[in-house]
Structure 1
Amino acid sequence: MDIATISADTTSSPWHAGELAMQRAAGVEQRMDGVGRRNLRDHLIEQHRQFYPQLPFVVLGAVDPSGDVWATVRAHRPGFLHAPDTKHLHVALDRDPDDPADAGMNDGAALALLGIELPTRRRNRLNGAVQRAAQGDGVGFDLLVEHSYGNCPQYIFQRDAQFVRDPELRSEIAPVVSDRLDERARAIVERADSFYVATYVDREDGHRQVDVSHRGGKAGFVRVDEHGVFTVPDFAGNLFFNTLGNIFANPRAGLVFVDYASGDLLQLTGSAEVVLDSPEIAAFQGAERLWRFTPQRVVFRAGALPLRWTSRASGASANSALTGDWSEAAERIKAQALANAWRPFTIERIADESRTIRSFYLQPADDAGLVRHAAGQHLPIRVTLPGDTKPTLRTYTLSVAPSDGQYRISVKREGRVSSFLHDTLKAGDRIEARAPAGEFTIDAHATRPAVLLAAGVGVTPVLAMLRHIVYEGLRTRRIRPTWFIYAAHTKAERAFDEELQALVRAAGGAVKLFNVLSDSTDALAGRDYQASGRIDMGMLSEVLPFNDYDFYLCGPGGFMQSIYDGLRGLNIADSRIHAEAFGPAALKRQPDAAAQPSTPPRAAATVDVPVRFARSSKDAQWTPQTSGTLLELAEANGLAPEFSCRGGSCGTCRTRILKGAVAYPGQPPATAVSENEALICCAVPAAPDDGNDSNDGDAGAAVTLVLDL
């Protein structure tokens, strides 16, 4: 994105062009216009006037005469900050020649200030202009308030401070100034769980606006490469984009790291850039974008602060715990390169979820991490069964969210492979798995309420969806309203009771759980279940308040077809009903008229078609009446392509088309494929677009289909 493409006419907006560009990239520009008008005050409210005198330190952001921006931390006895009126904050601090930010605090200079109370995680940001002339011979300056607003408590580690010397006394150790990081500075950055960043922009009207803010995460969330460049993940915040908007418009930043145990300060100024497109964004848990910082001037000030902090035993930020780290991100990127390979996984542990469902927790047994999956996707696995010479492939839904940092498949005992998993495998054993796949996924950030409907082992993908909704909601402070309606035969056969209850509690009212039993023997109504019988439209109309919902269905074919038909009978749009099918029993849909494809699907060939399996150097003849699918044709000719569902729902048999085209008789497959791919388990050769089943117009030569098999 180029800021030159953003309209410079921001006179009617509370945001400048850089902030608008970032809000537009995040899809929140329209919403944030009203938020800005309500929250960006030009005065201090009474709550904030009472807040500042309690603080023993303050964070400041200033621009020196050369245009470099600096962040700094200054400390004094509580009361050194006070607001004589709603338009001014008095800062009773002497000038400090050791502080590189001090050069930007002259009378009339633009200044940013952050008041932050670590024990309570409260903070307030303001910016404005320095007024020193009004002080006469007094100490410090007034800050004339331009913008003032509260900030959320996310990513702040709780710490308690005490003074170790008179705050009037400066450190006796001279600052160390450099143009690059040394090993001491690098170590401070790499172990930090927080820092402060100052940025600024000269607005279209020529007015300078400075900002200073807090950044936090797990220790080591800032990566420093061999060239000294910092990479910082940007997590969910207030969507103001003051910092990144400033960087987008003016690629300069100043950072300050505090060593809370020693009072040392590391101050840096340099260039910065926002990164909106990188595989590392998806790989780093919780990151919504990245930004990079290249230091150009570095100042280390030993013992600069008269305060020392001690961390609280339970003071870690819950929001930081929802984020990842750089080693995990590197493993995920490495794993993505192996997405199409079969990899070894160790069974870490096994847990019985019900009388018939058992969960297997998997971790990679090689030196790569997990490919990040989407909630609702399935995991292809393969095992060699006793007496077999070749491995058997199956797909099982992952019952965890992408944020859980592990794979878990929850398998019902109902066939040869599942019985082998239940009866033979134990913790420490290995299986092979490939990257997760599948189209049955959910948007945790959508505003429309979701209804998750499950029957039997169909609970597994919708449980993953619910875990994802709750995690993302806690991370972003807005949980998508969700109804989870779960049908089982008996209480003993129902899985994940405790896990579901824990998710409901964590969601704080945003998630409603409704259990249905067809056999309620030995179950207590109201406690163990809310309704008996089967889920139908009458039950849904009683359970769900009147609203506009997205529906997600998973369970046996009859269950899903019945629910789907009932919802369509209530004029619920086909596009609002999402379903996962097991095996070849695909859901028979009634597409919305407006959703009909502009071009009809390809028709199946009606004459014999030569088929070449290029990698195997085999030629075959497909015959409409007898050959069946392309998978069956391949098997009849001695090939053993990978497959699982034989119904077009898992994508395991996806094969590249080198020449020709395929058709899907009946209903299109549930898994999407590109024009140069085929799901051979349900595909057949296609008739030419012109309807003439001949090759190059020669009636004696049928169209040849070439597959990468």
Structure 2
Amino acid sequence: MSQPSPLAPTQVPPLPWHAGERTLQERAGVARKMEELGARFVRDHMPEQHRQFFAQLPVVVLGAVDPDGDVWATLRAGRPGFLHSPHDKALAARLPREAADPAERGMEHGDAVGLLGIDLLTRRRNRLNGTIRRDAPAADTAVFEIMVGQSFGNCPQYIQQRNYAFTRDPAAPGAAQPQRMSGLDARARALVAGADTFFVASYVDLPDGTRQVDVSHRGGKPGFVRLDEDGGMTIPDFSGNLFFNTLGNFMANPRAGLVFADFASGELLQMTGSAQVILDSPEIAAFQGAERLWRFMPASVVRREDALPLRWTPEPEGTSPSVELTGDWREAAERLRARPLADTWRPFRVTRLVEESMGIRSLHLEPADGAGLLPHHAGQYLPIRVTAGSPPAPAIRTYTLSSAPADGVYRISIKREGTVSQHLHDHVKVGDIVQARAPAGTFTIDAAAPRPAVLLAAGIGVTPMLAMLRHLVHEGLRTRRTRPAYFFHAARTLPERAFARELGALADSAQGAVQYVRVLSDPRDAEPQQDFDEAGRIDIAMLQRHLPFGDYDFYLCGPGPFMQSLYDGLRALNVADDRIHAEAFGPAALRRRRDNAAQPAAQPAAAPAARPATAPVPVVFTRSGKEARWSPAAGSLLELAEQRGLAPEFGCRNGSCGTCRTRIVQGAVAYAGTPEFEVSDGEALICCAVPAAGDEGTGSMSLQLDL
């Protein structure tokens, strides 16, 4: 293998990304963006602030490749000043040779290395890679320079705050001999299992013959590294700077070196082995905050007791805010156990009740069956089943989730109206059990979309909008890229308005990315500006007062007339139909016109929809063994089943919730209008379905349903 010139820095490619990094950038949809940012953020020199930063550090992380091609990560310490920069293209280090450190063999004159300067107390970090220069290559000198190839800063995400103190002269090596192992023993596994921090080294040999080494920080909740039964480890990859230096290197060269530090004892656990990037797995969705996974299989492990001459102590309240937005493997396992239960009724325990306003109550629900929450999309609803009424009878309803996917709880917020909602207001208490199925619904929002979102909510229609805003703000904090949003919140009176304090706090936490407008149609004794921003009803004129000129996605939820009026007004302003999203549950469904909707340039021809039968059709309910004869006067298949004494589950009776979906054993069904809920082939929404017409356009031969 060709090595870099011993006296020249590693050359920076025209774009500072190699093929492995570009592959992941393209998959993440940021390749074009990173072409621009690469030239701006990845330099061939150190800015002055980086040079000063390195000189203040007591420890540095290094990545090096030994003569066998194995990559190692290590931590080396010295009194602040042991690193200094004689000029902006070189970083000098005074580090005595350490024969016990397996990375030392990759730190000879002319070797390519990676370096990470990190201050755990301030959460600041900067990285560089380059080539080692020793003035006397054959001598056992403690001084060498790294000639800069690439230099760039890193964000403070996922770094746990710690302070340090020296326990001995850093020039004196630890007395303990290194212990070499082929795998992890019980002690090593315990260190890894409890770690909230480790460092990883990787490298790639570029087409021009140069070598590029990287070393980076990884952080998460204690135990975010999963120890697998085969001796390997699985690690979630969270949102970062989108450079993909480490994982991009793995895509090109699956060699990795990891180092775990026992911050209380100074012990280092170094290992080298192979890595695999996982881009498609159910575990990715199950692990909160994970955008992909990677696995590491150690081939050689070195334990070095007392390797570091300093000790760290955690800072009070020093947990990284970014870490708080991530999950853990226990939670992920529970979510995976819940996946097979998606189509079943599960018990949920009421853990909290909150009176949100006059007439609106929230129920917080957690699984009571040992499985986890199925992840949902912000804006979806939750089908629940309770026994209510007089005489008591099972009833199914669907209520929008007012919690975000990352909240770790299902929260439904219910307006007092009707028998079931009154039961949930008056009789349900903390500790009670309600039955629920998997969340469903297509009224959702994409937190990564670039177009600003305008959320328009009235009355109880605030619930999906609240979930959406919680999701936008959470994802903005997690990714440091918040989708801009305007939230218009309408209520009749101040006592009837729910969630105003929560919405205001969300807007404040978004650092200017969210504008919250409070609207009261009947202000009464409410104080302008203090209690509300606009009096009246949300209309186009009000939107124009608050929205600067631009292109938006609009989200509507509230009473039918409210949504229809806003929809018609937006369409009159030539807002495309596909820019207006609405909760179409129940009778509030919009009457849409799509004459000027933005359409894709080319669409495949849609298959013609089945037509409802116009003549009688025999129907067999196979599970119960009952038969019936459907005619147009019989209504829906749900009504036909009820006439034959069956009691299929249903929620909305208009094709919105999906509760009634039933497997078609034989035959076909048709719908008078397109239902909101999408079902797979071979299923029917019997609440609004009828038998399909046959080839002659009248009745089909027969229809068999799994009921």
Contact 2:655-2:677 at 8 Å conserved across structures: yes
AA aligned to 2:478 is R
Deviation readout 1:48-72 (Å, 9 max, x if unpaired): 1111110001000000011100000
Q: Which residue of 2 aligns with 1:7?
A: none
Q: Which residue of 2 aligns with 1:675?
A: 681
Q: Distance in 1 between matches of 2:611 and 2:310?
A: 77
Deviation readout 1:295-337 (Å, 9 max, x if unpaired): 1100010110000111110211000011000000000111112
**Does residue 494 in structure 1 map to residue 482 in structure 2?**
no
Q: Distance in 2 between matches of 1:120 and 1:138?
A: 32
Deviation at 1:705, TM superposition (A): 1.9
Q: Distance in 2 between matches of 1:39 and 1:670?
A: 46
Q: Distance in 1 between matches of 2:258 and 2:463?
A: 45
Contact 2:614-2:697 at 8 Å conserved across structures: no
Query: In structure 2, the residue corresponding to 1:427 is in which secondary structure?
Result: coil
**Does residue 242 in structure 1 map to residue 245 in structure 2?**
yes
Q: Which residue of 2 aligns with 1:158?
A: 161
Q: Distance in 2 between matches of 1:14 and 1:172?
A: 42
Structure 2 runs not aligned, ≥5 long: 1-11
Query: In structure 2, the residue corresponding to 1:116 is in which secondary structure?
Result: strand
**Does residue 265 in structure 1 map to residue 245 in structure 2?**
no
Q: Which residue of 2 aligns with 1:59?
A: 61
Deviation at 1:383, TM superposition (A): 0.7
Q: Bigger shift: 125-134 or 328-337? A: 125-134
Q: Distance in 2 between matches of 1:291 and 1:139?
A: 36
**Does residue 692 in structure 1 map to residue 700 in structure 2?**
no
Contact 1:381-1:395 at 8 Å conserved across structures: yes
Q: Distance in 2 between matches of 1:26 and 1:87?
A: 32
Query: In structure 1, the residue corresponding to 2:490 is in which secondary structure?
Result: strand
Q: Which residue of 1 aligns with 2:126?
A: 124
Q: Which residue of 1 aligns with 2:551?
A: 548
Deviation readout 1:147-171 (Å, 9 max, x if unpaired): 0000000001111111100111111
- Within 5 Å, give how 1:275-424 maps onto structure 2: 275-388=278-391, 390-424=393-427
Q: Which residue of 2 aligns with 1:606?
A: 614
Deviation at 1:708, TM superposition (A): 2.0
Q: Which residue of 1 aligns with 2:5?
A: none
Deviation at 1:586, TM superposition (A): 2.2
Q: Which residue of 2 aligns with 1:5?
A: none
Q: Bigger shift: 507-516 or 655-664? A: 655-664
Contact 2:165-2:310 at 8 Å conserved across structures: yes
Query: In structure 1, the residue corresponding to 2:363 is in which secondary structure?
Result: strand
Aligned CA RMSD, in angstroms, stands at 1.5
Deviation readout 1:499-519 (Å, 9 max, x if unpaired): 111101111111111111111
Q: Distance in 1 between matches of 2:696 and 2:427?
A: 53
- Within 5 Å, give how 1:476-625 maps onto structure 2: 476-592=479-595, 598-624=606-632
Contact 2:267-2:307 at 8 Å conserved across structures: yes
Q: Distance in 2 between matches of 1:14 and 1:388?
A: 72
Deviation at 1:113, TM superposition (A): 0.5
Contact 1:71-1:198 at 8 Å conserved across structures: yes
Deviation at 1:601, TM superposition (A): 2.8
Contact 1:159-1:311 at 8 Å conserved across structures: yes
Contact 1:449-1:550 at 8 Å conserved across structures: yes
Q: Which residue of 1 aligns with 2:23?
A: 21
Query: In structure 1, the residue corresponding to 2:411 is in which secondary structure?
Result: strand
Contact 2:203-2:249 at 8 Å conserved across structures: yes
Q: Which residue of 2 aligns with 1:3?
A: none
Q: Which residue of 1 aligns with 2:703?
A: 705
Deviation readout 1:631-666 (Å, 9 max, x if unpaired): 11111111111111111111111222222222221x
Which residue of 660, 663, 667 corresponds with 1:660?
667
Q: Bigger shift: 315-324 or 334-343? A: 334-343
Q: Distance in 1 between matches of 2:238 and 2:401?
A: 26
Contact 1:584-1:645 at 8 Å conserved across structures: no
AA aligned to 1:371 is L
Query: In structure 2, the residue corresponding to 1:362 is in which secondary structure?
Result: strand
Query: In structure 1, the residue corresponding to 2:357 is in which secondary structure?
Result: coil
Deviation readout 1:349-376 (Å, 9 max, x if unpaired): 1010000000011111111111111111
AA aligned to 1:568 is R
Structure 1 runs not aligned, ≥5 long: 1-9, 695-701
Q: Bigger shift: 441-450 or 646-655? A: 646-655
Distance 1:691 1:452, change over 3 A: farther
**Does residue 649 in structure 1 map to residue 656 in structure 2?**
yes
Deviation at 1:558, TM superposition (A): 1.5
Q: Distance in 1 between matches of 2:616 and 2:189?
A: 69
Q: Distance in 2 between matches of 1:473 and 1:74?
A: 35
Deviation at 1:673, TM superposition (A): 2.0
Contact 1:126-1:148 at 8 Å conserved across structures: yes
Q: Distance in 1 between matches of 2:53 and 2:240?
A: 22
Q: Distance in 1 between matches of 2:595 and 2:135?
A: 71
Q: Which residue of 1 aligns with 2:6?
A: none
Deviation at 1:133, TM superposition (A): 2.8
Deviation readout 1:214-249 (Å, 9 max, x if unpaired): 000111110001222100000000000000000111
AA aligned to 2:677 is T
Q: Bigger shift: 601-610 or 53-62? A: 601-610
Using structure 2 for the length normalisation, give the TM-score. Answer: 0.95
Contact 2:96-2:141 at 8 Å conserved across structures: no
Q: Which residue of 2 aligns with 1:6?
A: none
Contact 2:389-2:420 at 8 Å conserved across structures: no
Query: In structure 2, the residue corresponding to 1:359 is in which secondary structure?
Result: strand
Q: Distance in 2 between matches of 1:600 and 1:186?
A: 60
Q: Which residue of 2 aligns with 1:69?
A: 71
Q: Distance in 2 between matches of 1:214 and 1:585?
A: 51
Which residue of 591, 611, 628 corresponds with 2:635?
628
Deviation at 1:591, TM superposition (A): 2.5
AA aligned to 1:664 is Y
Say how many residue pairs are matched: 690
Q: Distance in 1 between matches of 2:197 and 2:450?
A: 32
AA aligned to 1:31 is K
Contact 2:164-2:312 at 8 Å conserved across structures: yes
Deviation at 1:487, TM superposition (A): 0.9
Using structure 1 for the length normalisation, give the TM-score. Answer: 0.95
Q: Distance in 2 between matches of 1:672 and 1:134?
A: 72
Q: Distance in 1 between matches of 2:99 and 2:696?
A: 85
Query: In structure 1, the residue corresponding to 2:641 is in which secondary structure?
Result: helix
Q: Distance in 2 between matches of 1:682 and 1:571?
A: 33
Query: In structure 2, the residue corresponding to 1:188 is in which secondary structure?
Result: helix
Aligned identity (percent) is 63
- Within 5 Å, give how 1:18-97 maps onto structure 2: 18-97=20-99
Which residue of 194, 199, 214 corresponds with 2:197?
194
Distance 1:649 1:107, change over 3 A: same
Query: In structure 2, the residue corresponding to 1:23 is in which secondary structure?
Result: helix
Contact 1:487-1:534 at 8 Å conserved across structures: yes
Contact 2:560-2:587 at 8 Å conserved across structures: no
Deviation at 1:13, TM superposition (A): 3.1
Deviation at 1:607, TM superposition (A): 1.3
Q: Bigger shift: 526-535 or 136-145? A: 136-145
Query: In structure 2, the residue corresponding to 1:133 is in which secondary structure?
Result: coil
Deviation at 1:137, TM superposition (A): 7.7
Contact 1:585-1:647 at 8 Å conserved across structures: no
Q: Bigger shift: 493-502 or 388-397? A: 388-397
